[in-house]
A and B are shown apart, each in its own frame.
Chain A
Amino acid sequence: MTQRLHAIAESPRFKNNLQKWTGSVKNFILGLGIAVIVAGVCYIIIAPLVGIISRAFMSPSDVINPLVFLFPLAPTLYNLRTAFDLMGYNTVLLNTLAFAVGMAVLHALVCSFVGYGFARFKFPGSNVLFGLVIVSIVVPIQSYMIPMFLNFRFFLGSPDLNLLGTIWPILLLTATGVGIRSGLYIYIFRQFFRGIPKELEEAAFIDGAGPMGTYLRIMLPNAVPACVTVFLFALVWHYNDTYYTSMLMTGNNMMASALSSLGFSYAGWRSLMELPVNPILTQMVVFGGVLLAIAPVMIIYLFLQRFFVEGLERSGIVG
């Protein structure tokens, strides 16, 4: 009996099956562990948003009803519609998206250009200058806001050239690589370009491409994941920014500023209609506004996500 068992245990077929079985158990446990971690982290991230979404669809009777938790009994679109009207959503969204997308594209172009210069060429002072890139992101804008403001109020020292309130200050800052977190993008591109094998460039160089041609035809197409990353970050940060826009572009209605003043405009509208102003109702409208503000960026992100996958594999280089 034991001999037969031994024979079975020693047989290659049994060993093979055992290996397969332990392998699949291992995979299952690993998958379970990952699922638990991912679900937990996702919960921490979405929890506040769930509160916002549920409140945005509640009617006033749901809010005061202590039995209602997360799921409204009488769901309503009133909050969303009010936020939509009060923010002037259509115009604000068009303005903001046009501005943010334009700036993000400019950021990706300029910063990849500069980042390539820092990544591949050794010139006198390159290390010091690159240190300056980092310093330029560390020093917060708040600390040199006043000189910056005066700089654009009296542009080039002339008292008549007032660029404040136009798109020019932020456009100039972005085009010269010192806009909102530009230094970070330069850094990202530099690191990416340094990770691309040098053989690619050498091949291009031997085939007669100049530095500009190499950058445009070889490096930029290979940096698609980096470009998408930078584009997304720049888009979101321009979309959400209130500091630069309120300082340098006052008077232009942007999504983030419309959102931050939504509570006041709702309260103002209520008192104008001689209705009682209620902070809880105001809050619900603000939540509707938050949903409206987040939605476009989220959609763009979902659309761009697949471009992350296009990497170096496409270029066909091995080693």
Chain B
Amino acid sequence: MNAAPRKRRKGLTLRGREIASGYFFIFPWLVGITFFFLLNVGRAARFSVNRVHVIAGYGLTQDFIGLQNFYNIFRVHGTFMREMFTSVGEMLINVPLIIFFSLFMAIILNRQFMGRGLVRAIFFLPVIMASAAIANTIEMSMGMIMGGSSSIPPDMEGAGGGFNAAAIIMLLGSLGMPPQISGYITTAIANLHEVIRSSGVQILIFLAALQSIPSSMYEVAQIEGATSYETFWKITIPMVSPLIITNVVYTVIDTYANAAVVETAHLTYIREMNIGASAAMSISSALLVCLVLFSICWAISRFIFYRD
């Protein structure tokens, strides 16, 4: 009696069992993505080809108007198109900066030095303070410490000086550096504050990755006579490379979530109650960002080392 079911289970091939366990593990997510994400995004996509009216107290009605909303946001709306491409361009500038900076900082923070706990705590602060409520108060406070009216006596005003980007660009230009490169460098320096503030999460992810490299690997390399330069390129980089791509994904998403396009789409809904146009804006910008993200990931994924 007992043999029959066992035989059936044996009948499942190794491959079949792998497929079954794969679906078993992702099952909760499959439910969620279908009911709470795909369904809702599908409805939002339907909004984008409709004119949507809100009926007070109950719900929505929709009239089909084809691609009218998309035509409006791209050809009629004054700023949307420019905002979308500026947002993506800024993202492309900031992503490599944030990745290099956070990897560099994670490697430094992974070393043994005095007050490491304190420094790590400080590096976590931007993650905590990234909320909208706190960000507003911080902006107010920045004015105070960086030269609000009460902090600097009137005689000293202007003595602090700002960062003179034009002079640096001219200097680099006369040294023979192409203006594109010097422009990138000065933008990077001007963005330094932004880069540091938005790389808290990435530093933590890299730090966790560095911690999970077995120390035996470094011991072996040392015994074999590898220099620390070789160790870095042959052990550290390959071992953290899977998380480089994670961090690229996170950085793109984080930059996009705070970008002007998302804000515009949201305001179009809140101020003008134009749900259709708002949906069209979100969908077209999200499509563009997905396209950019997938091509970046595809380009990077060839350099990534997995242990399987």
Give chain A's interface residues, CB within 8 Å of chain B. 31, 34-35, 37-38, 41-42, 44-52, 55, 63, 66, 69-70, 110, 113-114, 116-118, 120-124, 126, 129, 131-140, 142-144, 146-148, 150-151, 172-173, 175-178, 182, 184, 186-188, 191-192, 194-198, 211, 215, 225-226, 228-229, 232-233, 236, 240-242, 256-257, 259-260, 283, 286-287, 290, 293-294, 297-298, 301-302, 305, 308-309, 311-313, 317-319
Contacts and interface: CB of A to CB of B under 8 A. Distances in A.
B126 interface: yes
Given A41-B196, A137-B249, A283-B140, A114 B134 contact: no
Nearest to B200: A45
A24 to B, nearest CB: 16
Interface centre among B19, B47, B308, by most A CB within 10 Å?
A: B308
Interface of B is mostly: helix
B25 A143 contact: no
B192 to A, nearest CB: 7
B192 A44 contact: yes
Most chain B Cβ neighbours within 10 Å, of A63, A114, A139, A290: A139
6 contacts: A52-B137, A66-B150, A140-B262, A211-B24, A215-B25, A256-B133
Contacts of B307: 194-198
A302 B18 contact: no
A198 to B, nearest CB: 5
B308 A42 contact: no
A89 to B, nearest CB: 15
A225 B207 CA distance: 9
Given A195-B239, A225-B208, 19 more contacts: A44-B197, A48-B129, A52-B141, A133-B29, A137-B249, A138-B252, A140-B282, A142-B262, A147-B47, A176-B28, A191-B245, A192-B208, A195-B307, A198-B308, A229-B205, A242-B131, A256-B132, A294-B128, A311-B212
A313 B215 contact: yes
Nearest to B19: A123
Interface in B236-269: 239, 242-243, 245-246, 249-250, 252-253, 256-257, 262, 265-266, 269
B22 interface: yes
A42 B119 contact: yes
B244 to A, nearest CB: 9
B225 interface: no
Interface string B270-300: 0000010011001100100110011001000
Contacts of A52: 137-138, 141
B120 interface: yes
A51 B212 contact: no
A110 B297 CA distance: 25
A240 B142 CA distance: 20
A121 B146 CA distance: 53
B133 A126 contact: no
Contact of B21 (A66, A121, A187, A228): A121
B25 A114 contact: yes
Nearest to A174: B32
A123 B24 CA distance: 11
B29 A176 contact: yes
A111 B294 CA distance: 22
B26 A143 contact: no
Contacts of B13: none
A235 to B, nearest CB: 10
Contact of B249 (A35, A187, A312): A187
B93 to A, nearest CB: 19
Contact of A229 (B19, B150, B208, B306): B208
Given A34-B111, A38-B119, A318 B214 contact: yes
A96 B140 CA distance: 26
A34 B26 CA distance: 44
Given A146-B275, A242-B131, A192 B121 contact: no
B151 interface: yes
B113 A34 contact: yes
Contacts of A305: 117, 120-121
A302 B121 contact: yes
B162 interface: no
A44 B125 contact: no
Contacts of B142: 47-48, 51
Nearest to A149: B40
B128 A225 contact: no
Given A198-B307, A308-B207, A117 B117 contact: no
Contact of A45 (B122, B209, B275, B283): B122
Contacts of A241: 131
A305 B269 CA distance: 42
B132 to A, nearest CB: 6
A26 to B, nearest CB: 11
Contacts of B204: 229, 232-233
A239 to B, nearest CB: 8
Given A114-B28, A308-B211, A121 B242 contact: no
Contacts of A148: 36, 40
A193 to B, nearest CB: 9
B125 A240 contact: no
Question: Closest 10 A-B residue pairs measured CB to CB?
Answer: A117-B25, A176-B32, A143-B282, A121-B22, A240-B131, A123-B22, A177-B29, A147-B43, A260-B133, A51-B141
B145 interface: yes
